[in-house]
Structure 1
Amino acid sequence: MQKPYDIIVFGATGFTGRLVAEYLHKTYGDGREVTWAMAGRSEAKLRQVRDQLGIDAALPLLVADASDTAALKALVAQTRVVITTVGPYQLVGNQLVTACAEAGTDYVDLCGEPGWMAQKIPQLQKVAAASGARIVFSCGFDSIPFDLGVLFLQNEAQQRFGEPLKRVHGRVKAIKGGPSGGTAASLLATMEAVGRDKSLIKTLGNPYALVPGFKGPRQPDDSVAEWDELVQSWTAPFVMAPINTKNVHRTNALRGHPWGTDFLYSERMLTGKGEKGELRAKKSARKDRIQNILLAIAPTRALIRRFVLPKPGEGPSLQQRESGLYDLVFAGQTASGQVLRARVKGDRDPGYGSTCKLIAESALCLIREVDHTMAPGGVWTPGAAMGLPLLNRLQARAGLSFAIEAD
């Protein structure tokens, strides 16, 4: 059955949702190339955002609250795919993703909340498989550049060496851009969930938490300062590694473990060589430990919510978003000792400027380039559902580059 819209942007009045709407408007127009609509809980605010962005008044505005199950069911029935930027998903995302899974409507989000994702995968897999809905979590900076970076490197290794890389190191060489308020809010919500349910600690610490029933080898400890032989640099913990590593292992599993059931993946930040690099690595690791301790304390979280997190609708300026960037290094080694390295770069601030392009292009890739024989209904990662078609689309349209480094 033909649906009125290709895409509905849910949460279009929020800071990130507004950026997604702006990107679709500037890139694909107001409904001729891509039929789309803006959705949120306030028609007046939706109209205001539409007018501020210079979008044609004919672009549809749809009203639904994240807690209104009936309205959400009516909403998702009208579109091929829903883009949702409304989080934390563990607090306000349950009804929407369930509505999509039941209706057979594809779904993409920016989720970096592994505890919630680990709950949703077994809950929604059979439902989505029956309806044909493709539920794809983590379609922003967490975790597309890392998920596809590993996929790209492994693909090249198979072509060049005829064997996969047994281990891959994902390393953040440079990153410029303000912290994402949504990511921070999700982290706080996760810490509060742990306070209510201590069993979540085991889930968050399990690298295979998003691969139900699978137990692989012990993974590298990315919480300490460490020298990395593959990239010849000292390294320190990276705040997004706990979600990215889980998505990478899920991609490997969903693709049938082409990289082996003994695949090892580590994700960290580069701090440089020599004594200065070592000092930076140890200082960063110590800071990371202290932050984790403080985040476990309720009064600290309350202060962060009050004084640190951006207020609703706030975020970095256009200049800050456009001057941002990220530069990632991926290095891997086969069982026979052959080494391969790649670089993944993004041309905007990762949390907002790049993320709005990543999720929009993911939605379009899913409905236009990935049919149900390639990715049937179910709960997916970007790398498993869309893989190289998405990688190529992001290189062509979203300011990302993937390249093998010469020896």
Structure 2
Amino acid sequence: MSDFRELGIIVYGATGYTGRLVCEYLNGQYGVNGAVNWAMAGRSKEKLIAVRDELGLSENIPLVVADADNADSVREMVARTRVLITTVGPYQLYGSDLVAACAGAGTDYVDLCGEPAWMHEMIAAHGDAAKASGARIVFSCGFDSIPFDLGVWFLQEAAEERFGAPMPRLKGRVRVMKGTFSGGTLASFKATMAAAARQPEMVKLLMDPFALTEGHAGVEQPSGMAPVYEEELQSWSAPFVMATINTKNIHRSNFLLGYAYGKDFVYDEMLLTGPGQQGEKMALAVAEDKSMAEDPRQPGEGPSKEERDAGHYDVLFVGSNAEGQTIKASVKGDKDPGYGSTSKMIAESAVCLLQHPGNVPGGIYTPAPAMGGLLVERLQKNAGLTFQLED
């Protein structure tokens, strides 16, 4: 990005629950007006001041007023910064003008989106503009889908080094997940379900694992929708609620990486529930759980700091090939996935783009092809994630 920008990073949605956590993290990790040079943005200057003071942040942090319902204010905001973080969802309701503005202005963009129908729409509408302007638009820079997308990338890099080829079959299995989904994630889920009810054709897109690969379809994929006992893992596996978005993002990563995982790549995600009758019982209970659709939490609500700090997660990845070779890797996070870890991941994604302006050309990305090992290194150094191979 050759043109001068006043700011390095703007956090849009800074007065919301997750936005506040992002601001706290940037302040603690990078200070004020240093190399990162970040600002807080939202609809109300008075509320921005109140939140800044409530968090004990410096008065030197710039405040930017912008409203998602006012396209002119959005364009003015993105023209001031090199990277925009937005935590304002559901993105299908509040994100379209932001993506359009960033793609047009050459401003890099990161979000927490888990809304594949909207992402599909944005790729079609603004992909060419982002390529032309140099804007790197990176969706899904939180728990969906960084640990999964980069976990697959990490394993495949190791497989290339060990075996000289990627693993054509890869399983993502959540071993531990202590914490809650964010109110924003729940709102996005409900908005997507409401949109699908109005537009039945959207259901087909939501069910398609290759919905984000721009017309390029791969081989048939497992559904992951029913409990199954996996002999090699000695455990029952249950459907994992975030697999619907993560699998789409991982297939998009493979597509954007020039099919680095292979054109016959097969991937699915499930939740490990343990062996025996107890494991089976838990897997069945998970499969029948409808609580997410009924959860009353709204965006802006979340757990206490003590609850965030007590959370953590552990995801196992198992790769295999026709020759019987296998390789395992894991990704672990030290905070609850929906808030504590997510706020650190999106902040580090933005800083990664800021500090590596020429690593990839403009376009609409997922985390792995946009940042790959650069982001893995940052997350391990700063954000409490660990990526490791397992015997």
TM-score (norm 2): 0.97
The answer for the alignment partner of 2:388 in structure 1 is: 403
The answer for the alignment partner of 2:307 in structure 1 is: 320
Could you tell me which of 210, 223, 226 is aligned with 1:224?
226
AA aligned opposite 2:317: F
* Structure 2, unpaired ranges of 5+: none
- Cα distance in 2 for residues equivalent to 1:229 and 1:152: 25
The answer for the alignment partner of 1:146 in structure 2 is: 148
For the pair 1:387 / 2:372, whether they are aligned, the reply is: yes
RMSD of the TM alignment (CA)? 1.2
Deviation, 1:375, is 1.2
AA aligned opposite 1:377: G
Could you tell me which of 293, 309, 312 is aligned with 2:297?
309
Deviation, 1:275, is 2.1
- Cα distance in 1 for residues equivalent to 2:60 and 2:165: 53
Could you tell me which of 273, 276, 281 is aligned with 1:274?
276
AA aligned opposite 1:163: A
The answer for the alignment partner of 1:348 in structure 2 is: 335
Percent identical: 55
**Corresponding residue SS for 1:73:** helix
AA aligned opposite 1:402: F
AA aligned opposite 2:310: S
Deviation, 1:291, is 5.8
Aligned length: 389
Is the Cα–Cα contact under 8 Å of residues 130 and 137 in structure 2 kept in the other structure?
Answer: yes
- Cα distance in 2 for residues equivalent to 1:10 and 1:279: 43
Is the Cα–Cα contact under 8 Å of residues 230 and 332 in structure 1 kept in the other structure?
Answer: no
Deviation, 1:278, is 1.8
Post-superposition Cα deviations, 1:268-303, rounded to whole Å, max 9, x if no partner, equal 00011122212221232233xx569xx5xxxx6xxx
- Cα distance in 2 for residues equivalent to 1:142 and 1:313: 18
The answer for the alignment partner of 1:336 in structure 2 is: 323
- Cα distance in 2 for residues equivalent to 1:315 and 1:114: 24
- Cα distance in 2 for residues equivalent to 1:68 and 1:245: 34
Is the Cα–Cα contact under 8 Å of residues 101 and 127 in structure 1 kept in the other structure?
Answer: yes
The answer for the alignment partner of 1:181 in structure 2 is: 183
The answer for the alignment partner of 1:203 in structure 2 is: 205
**Corresponding residue SS for 2:151:** helix
For the pair 1:27 / 2:29, whether they are aligned, the reply is: yes
- Cα distance in 1 for residues equivalent to 2:199 and 2:93: 15
Is the Cα–Cα contact under 8 Å of residues 163 and 334 in structure 1 kept in the other structure?
Answer: no
- Cα distance in 2 for residues equivalent to 1:64 and 1:165: 46
Is the Cα–Cα contact under 8 Å of residues 183 and 300 in structure 2 kept in the other structure?
Answer: no
Deviation, 1:83, is 0.2
Is the Cα–Cα contact under 8 Å of residues 228 and 236 in structure 2 kept in the other structure?
Answer: yes
Deviation, 1:259, is 1.1
Post-superposition Cα deviations, 1:125-165, rounded to whole Å, max 9, x if no partner, equal 10100111000000000000000000011110110011110
The answer for the alignment partner of 2:10 in structure 1 is: 8
TM-score (norm 1): 0.93
Deviation, 1:15, is 0.3
- Cα distance in 2 for residues equivalent to 1:258 and 1:37: 37
* Structure 1, unpaired ranges of 5+: none
- Cα distance in 1 for residues equivalent to 2:353 and 2:150: 15
**Corresponding residue SS for 1:386:** helix
The answer for the alignment partner of 2:100 in structure 1 is: 98
- Cα distance in 2 for residues equivalent to 1:77 and 1:378: 18
